[in-house]
Amino acid sequence: MYLVANVNVEICASKSCKLCTQYCPEANTIQYSEEMGKEQGFKYGSAYIAVDRCKGCALCVWVCDSLAKNNAITMTMIDQLPKAALTDNITYGDKSTTAVLASPMVG
């Protein structure tokens, strides 16, 4: 098994900083959804990870902890994630994206 980044929506959706999206070395991997936090009753949207593209470098963890000071991202074994975003289930809108979460193991 291997590690991928995992965003804590509760923390992220109270911040709206979007900083990690500018630092992941991989394209279209850290995505932002204006709905994801609000749907769960939080103030803002949330960042989330397209786990099929994440290479597990943890650079985003450093950005969220040390630059943004929000500590919202942790590295998690991919089979320990109950549900995650996968490229196939991400839809682009005009200014935001939405993701239908699915099992990272079986899609």
**Contact footprint for other proteins (CB under 8 A):** 18, 21-28, 30-32, 47, 53, 55-59, 61-63, 66-67, 87-88, 92-93, 95-97
| Closer CB to ligand SF4, 15 or 98, in the complex | 15
d(CA 44, CA 33): 9
Which whole-number Å values give the CA distances from 77 to 1, 15, 53, 88, 96, in the listed order?
Answer: 6, 25, 14, 20, 27
CB of 103 to ligand SF4, least distance (A): 18
Subset of 27-46 contacting ligand SF4 (CB under 6 A): 29-30
Radius of gyration of the chain (CA): 13
